[in-house]
Amino acid sequence: MRRVSKASAARDWEKRATQASRRLRGPSKFLPNIWSEVKGGLYEAQGRKCCYCESRVEERYNDVEHFRPKSTYWWLAYELKNLFFSCANCNRGKGDNFPVSGRRLAKRRLPWFRSAWRQEAALIICPDGLEGALPEDHVTFRQVGGRWLIVGLSPRGKATIKACQLDRDDLNLLRQEHVSDVLEPALLRWKVARPSERRRREKELCDHAHPQRRFSGLALAFLRHHGVLLAQDGTAATLASPLGSR
């Protein structure tokens, strides 16, 4: 799980969404068109992958996810800060599940989403990192017995894995294939590269950990495990650059 950005997702959409929000009176009579209009923008902004499991999936068969479920937090149904693109499996796994630490303030209608996390402490980590926690600080991957497994580094990380079922068997298999078919070959190509090719191979390797790449959180843990990010040659700076800008 990596922090996602939605900066370019919905420039013209928010005005229509705000108008629709004003007409809401409860958790019913939602307008699905409002979500379908913003789905493509979210999908592209997030690198065409799920905000939770980082699987790269097709837009049409997957979902607009409400971080705070619309069944409870209905007034946030069209609030962009509450919307993400997610795969159907993560969305259905999470469902209406939204554990909090301390008081739940839903019935008091949080007045402004940006301040919601100051009033109500979500346990699930918000994918855009705006609720006081960066995904990367709470969820990582470790090699255990030759297999790469997702690990929660905190109660919030563990709650996120549990709520979204991020340790499900199909995901573990896909991640293992990503390591063996993509990451390990890229690492080997970098290790055996001639001096003239080494920089190019290093970029190819580090690109797998860019936040918009498939399973980038896994790639980040994999590279750290192999000491790649500890190099003194600017590798970390390479990772901080947007894709396509170099």
Nearer to Zn ion by Cβ, of 38 and 150: the residue is 150
- Asked if 50 is part of the footprint of Zn ion (rule: CB under 5 A), the reply reads yes
Q: Report whether 50 contacts 64 (CB < 8 A).
A: no
Smallest gap, in angstroms, from Cβ of residue 17 to Zn ion? Answer: 24
Smallest gap, in angstroms, from Cβ of residue 152 to Zn ion? Answer: 16
CA distance 53 to 45: 16
Interface characters, 87-116, with Zn ion (x: CB under 5 A): x--x--------------------------
Alpha helices (H) along 74-229: 88-94, 116-119, 135-138, 155-164, 169-178, 184-191, 198-207, 216-225
Instruction: Return the residue matching tokens 């100051």.
Output: 118
CA distance 138 to 160: 9
CA distance 220 to 109: 38
Nearer to Zn ion by Cβ, of 87 and 220: the residue is 87
- Asked if 34 is part of the footprint of Zn ion (rule: CB under 5 A), the reply reads no
Smallest gap, in angstroms, from Cβ of residue 129 to Zn ion? Answer: 17
Nearer to Zn ion by Cβ, of 50 and 228: the residue is 50
Q: Report whether 114 contacts 130 (CB < 8 A).
A: yes
- Asked if 52 is part of the footprint of Zn ion (rule: CB under 5 A), the reply reads yes
- Asked if 218 is part of the footprint of Zn ion (rule: CB under 5 A), the reply reads no
Nearer to Zn ion by Cβ, of 89 and 238: the residue is 89
Tokens of 19: 């108008």
Q: Which stretch binds Zn ion (CB under 5 A): 45-53, 126-134, 144-152, 230-238?
A: 45-53
- Asked if 161 is part of the footprint of Zn ion (rule: CB under 5 A), the reply reads no
Query: Where do the DSSP E strands lie in the chain?
Result: 63-66, 83-86, 100-101, 121-122, 139-144, 147-152
Interface residues with Zn ion (CB under 5 A)?
A: 50, 52-53, 87, 90
